Chain A
Amino acid sequence: DIQMTQSPSSLSASVGDRVTITCRASQGISNYLAWYQQKPGKVPKLLIYAASTLQSGVPSRFSGSGSGTDFTLTISSLQPEDVATYYCQKYNSALALTFGGGTKVEIK
């Protein structure tokens, strides 16, 4: 089974900083990767799908890149409302989804 490893598990950055979260798959998954944001006490929200496509309504400071085994989620200028835990998720044609362990983002 393909495992998804996120790093770091948590980070603290200042408002306006560029923040990068990585997700590594144990095997190649093409671009079958999505990113979700879960604010404290809230429902997860889709940010990016197909590794780099921004979901409608998501601010353009969020971007995704990568293919194969290595992927990144970047927040170009961290805002206070971005405090959340971010999860990557892989998908395969057998309808097996796996989430990464999550990255908790806080404001310094």
Chain B
Amino acid sequence: EVQLVQSGAEVKKPGESLKISCKGSGYSFTSYWIGWVRQMPGKGLEWMGIIYPGDSDTRYSPSFQGQVTISADKSISTAYLQWSSLKASDTAMYYCARLNDVVVAASLDYWGQGTLVTVSS
């Protein structure tokens, strides 16, 4: 069974750093891209970026380039999303999801349970 299990909720202060994780199982972790999606409170889904754990090829949405860092450790089947200096506006639910590009029209077929990040002084 394919599963993506994310790390738990975080409460941080502005200016602090943070790294959240997404551990894949039940499939070849190095053969599928993993993407990150932000959902701010009461708002829609926003595409942040994506990584190919096989070779760590990473692409960012222009809106998030320079704001976050996406990485992966294929030895433990885990992808990461990190911030060096959090802002209150980073308060959101963050989802990881597997990109299934077996067909050319790729889609996000499995999702993690989400990690709620709250940034408040």
Contacts and interface: CB of A to CB of B under 8 A. Distances in A.
B95 interface: yes
A102 B105 contact: no
Contacts of B107: 34, 46, 49-50, 89, 91
Contacts of A45: 111
Contact of A1 (B50, B59, B62): B62
A100 B44 CA distance: 8
Contact of A99 (B47, B99, B100, B111): B47
User: Chain B at the A interface: mostly helix, strand, loop or mixed?
Assistant: strand
Contacts of A96: 47, 59, 61
Contact of B45 (A30, A51, A53, A87): A87
Residue from B44, B100, B107, B113 with most neighbouring chain A CB atoms (10 Å): B107
Chain A contact patch, size range:
20 to 34
Residue from B61, B112, B113 with most neighbouring chain A CB atoms (10 Å): B61
A31 B105 contact: yes
Interface string A24-48: 0000001111101010000111100
B108 interface: yes
Question: 5 closest pairs, A vs B, by CB?
Answer: A34-B107, A50-B105, A49-B107, A99-B45, A97-B47
10 contacts: A32-B104, A32-B105, A38-B45, A43-B113, A44-B97, A45-B111, A49-B105, A49-B107, A50-B107, A101-B44
Given A43-B95, A49-B103, A102-B45, 9 more contacts: A30-B105, A31-B105, A36-B108, A89-B45, A91-B107, A97-B35, A97-B47, A99-B37, A99-B47
